[in-house]
Structure 1
Amino acid sequence: MNLVQIGGEIHSKRVQAGLLQEHVAKFAGLSRVTINQLENGTLKDLGYTKLKAVMDVLGLDMETVQPSGMKSALAVAARSISTSYRDIVTPDMLSMMLRSGVAPEQFHPHLMALLDETPLPVVVKAVSEAATPEVPTKKIMKNLSLWAKQWKVCRAVW
């Protein structure tokens, strides 16, 4: 596969996940212009590390350009953020909190762990799984951004 073909796969996966170029760029540590040029096939060269960062965010593999084997990112994220706490967040609870933007106070630490510590590909896929026609991915990403600002999380991508 060449860079133009990979860019097309990245575009398809990003749109399927309901993410903006700006989100992918932030998560991968690149500029939106670079993501745009990659997707449109006008980027002449992109180093392995940068390309892998973009593909990792979207759950794509460098060798096959196929989705990773993660079945339910909501389940993975819910289990991950509940590990250190007495109160457990279920995948359904996490999905509802992501869509509504409302987080009961006892789950603020859990959501801070999601924003600060959960691998970005898991967060991106969980957001995609939680999205509905009524609450699209863009709205959920806005909720995450608002929480990150409100709770002053350390990860700079929000």
Structure 2
Amino acid sequence: MNLAQIGGEIHNKRIQAGLAQEQLAKFAGLSRVTINQLENGTLADLGYTKLKAVMDILGLDMETVKPSGLKSALTVAARSISTSYRDVITPDMLSTMLRSGIVPVQFQPHLMALLDETPLQVVVKAVAESATPDVPAKKIMKHLSLWANQWKVCRKVW
């Protein structure tokens, strides 16, 4: 598979995940122009580390198949953001909050942990798992961005 073919797969996964090119670029530490050129097949070269960063965010490996191991990102995310708190968020609760954009006050610290501390590939996959035809991943990503701005989270990618 060549870089142009990989770029096409990255484009498809980015759209499926509801990410804008600029968001993916921030998550991977690259410029939006680089992501655009990668997706359009006009990028002449991109180092392994940079390409791997993009693909890891989207849950792809170098063969553009989902790597084994992360079966349910919602389960992993819900468990990890509930670790430090008495109130536990279930995967279904997390999915509902992501889709609705509504977070009960007692769960705001949990969602702040999701935005600040959860690995981005887990967040992106949890968004994709939560998306429905009525609430696409792009809308869920807007919820995350809105919360990040509202709660002034430390991770600057939002």
Separation of aligned partners in 2, 1:111 and 1:18? 18
Note the residue ranges of structure 1 that are not aligned, 5 or more in a row: none
Note the residue ranges of structure 2 that are not aligned, 5 or more in a row: none
TM-score normalised by the chain length of structure 1: 0.94
Aligned CA RMSD, in angstroms, stands at 1.2
- Following TM superposition, by how much is the alpha carbon of 1:84 offset from its aligned partner in structure 2, in angstroms? 1.0
Find out whether 1:151 has 2:127 as its counterpart: no
Q: Which residue of 2 aligns with 1:68?
A: 67
Code of the residue aligned with 2:12 in structure 1: it is S
- Residue identity (%): 80
Where relative contact order (Cα < 8 A, 6+ residues apart) is larger, the structure is 2
Segments ≥4 residues shifted beyond 2 Å: 15-20
Code of the residue aligned with 2:78 in structure 1: it is A
- Following TM superposition, by how much is the alpha carbon of 1:148 offset from its aligned partner in structure 2, in angstroms? 0.6
| Alignment: residue pair count | 157
Code of the residue aligned with 2:138 in structure 1: it is K
Separation of aligned partners in 1, 2:119 and 2:10? 18
- Following TM superposition, by how much is the alpha carbon of 1:138 offset from its aligned partner in structure 2, in angstroms? 1.3
Separation of aligned partners in 2, 1:31 and 1:147? 24
- Following TM superposition, by how much is the alpha carbon of 1:137 offset from its aligned partner in structure 2, in angstroms? 1.1
Q: What whole-Å deviation, never above 9, does each CA across 1:62-92 have from its counterpart, x for those lacking one?
A: 3x22112211111110011011111100001
After TM superposition, the structure 1 = structure 2 runs for residues 1-158 of structure 1, keeping only pairs within 5 Å, are 1-62=1-62, 64-69=63-68, 70-158=70-158
Separation of aligned partners in 1, 2:61 and 2:125? 14
Of residues 13-22 and 68-77 in structure 1, the stretch that sits farther from structure 2 once superposed is 13-22
- Following TM superposition, by how much is the alpha carbon of 1:145 offset from its aligned partner in structure 2, in angstroms? 0.7
Aligned 8 A contact 2:98 2:140 in 1 = yes
- Following TM superposition, by how much is the alpha carbon of 1:93 offset from its aligned partner in structure 2, in angstroms? 0.3
What SS does structure 1 have at the residue aligned with 2:64? coil
